[in-house]
Structure 1
Amino acid sequence: MDKFTVLDLLDLELKEQNDLRLSCIGGRPGLEREIVVPDINRPGLALSGFFDNFGGQRVQLLGRGEYAYLQKLEGENNYDTIREFFTYSIPCCIFSHSLQPHPRFMELAEEAECPVLQTDLNSSEFATRLNRALGNIFAPTRIIHGVLVEVFGIGVLITGNSGVGKSETALELIERGHRLITDDSVEMKCVSGSIIIGSAANAVTGHHMEIRGLGIINISHLFGVGAIRDQKQVQLIVDLEEWDSSKVYDRLGTGDNITEILGVGIPTVTLPVKPGRNVPIIIETAAMNERLKKMGYYSAREFNQNILKWLESENARALYFQKKDIF
């Protein structure tokens, strides 16, 4: 990840429930300070003079409790701990509830060139939004060659060698009412250590597709905005490969094939491609089957258990008749 500064934090284009609603009220010379960790610190103990294990490299969030203590220090004309507070390389201070710090605090912040930001959100809501935003920014990333589509609510990553038909398969899925996230280059982000979010590696080309013999097409213009979305959790990988008659393919589906991306295991299906196979409808079926698995229903396992019960009943019946014949 490139350097992420306080100015970048202010410039984040987040919408609706993700909007941080930040504004800078002081310390503008320090807006180029880098944010190096995706964590927030509440500096109540530090302001009281206890700096052991102080998270000075974190964004400092000051709510009503910290603000009330700052007012108490102002009434006592005691600014020693505030001066010591600003000796640390703090990325920025953020006041929630639209709180306005007292002038002496602002003077010390200006002297230290530490940005002071303000939001009208309450502390808990702002902390949730900021943690989510920083988690996405600092999340481990990886670029994968493939096509990411949403099929029946399941994020399906279609992979395979060049020319195997990934884009054509995705185009047929879009024609059948499913949605495209991105074609060719998919940026993977590991969020919260267990979720892989896929989006376009390049926002400009994200909702375009390259079809050999046809060229570049704009999916949103051809099929409407309902045929696209910006990002989606990757929940299933479908690997397309040329049909190999010497290879034994899974015919029962009792095994769990997993592909690991950024430390997260994702269920994987290998589909052999040859003339006459309707790959899009197979992918639709795989997506619906994955939804059933997430609900706790495994078709292949149930089939296997039913076969075992049938064999056991047949063996018991045969043994019963054998004993009857003996007597």
Structure 2
Amino acid sequence: MSISALDLNLLVVLDAVLTERSVARAARRLHVTPSAISNALARLRIALGDPLFTRSGRGIVPTPRAVALAPVLTRALRDLEHAVHGAAFDPATTTREFSLAIADAGQMVRLPRIATLLAAEMPRARLRVIGIDTFLTGGGLASTEVDVAIAVGEKAPGLHLEPLYRERTVLVARHNHPQAGDRVSKSALASLRHVEVQVAPGKGYRALPGAYARLGIARDIALVVPNFSAAAAVVAGTNLVATLPVSLVSRLGPRLGLRSVQSPVPPLTLTINLCWHERTHADPAMVFFRDLIRRAGAAPRTRRTSAAT
């Protein structure tokens, strides 16, 4: 017999009778009448082709088939109860895997602190970190692949954005760039070609076009990349320029041979958000994990270097 043809409520009745060894006590446990228990057992006997219980004196005794079903029923109903109502979340014992999308090297410096807190407070849990480019093309937070993202973020239905920290941006070019010295004029700035960073599918950092438009300059975008680290690498090997977070330039600039360029466009403030979807908003484990990320610290400290003046 296929289980799809079986009324699963009958198994709840069988479990109660097996536990109580009495129709009357099982009826009180399930808040039904003894006749309802007897009717349920009669239907189950027909479905399973077994008497399930026999009378012995004033009580009942389970058949070998019923005895064999008892531990399986108890375990299955307990697991189903936990699945329906949700088992209590215990950080100390959870073995859950948490997935975190991080945009760039500027956010990667937070990982040691996150890992330290995770080991101390959720020692049996596991953290999986993915790049923001995978996050953008893989369905993002609406999928089951990513739980939380640390990114610029864009408002969207079902998406929660919480400012995690803010940092300033700087225009950068490679050392010995033929057109971009330590300072560029408005006309020189208009002649430069840019690397655009895609902070959401099809969208760049939206404050930049407005800042250039106010000066009457339309940025000439030569290349679009998925993150700030990729933009820094491209700038280091070409005559393109890019607007990047100061914290990232201070870390990668000396190694890549980048330097900051003063321009008529004032520094902009970049907001890095903690992002999550409505599907995980109320989940106790995710609430705890998001709080752990918050406690991992605010904006990463930047070193004072000539690359980020």
TM-score range, shorter chain: under 0.3
Q: How does the TM-score come out when normalised to structure 1?
A: 0.25
Larger radius of gyration: 2
Between Structure 1 and Structure 2, the one with more helix by share is 2
Q: How does the TM-score come out when normalised to structure 2?
A: 0.26
Higher relative contact order (CA 8 A, sep 6+): 2
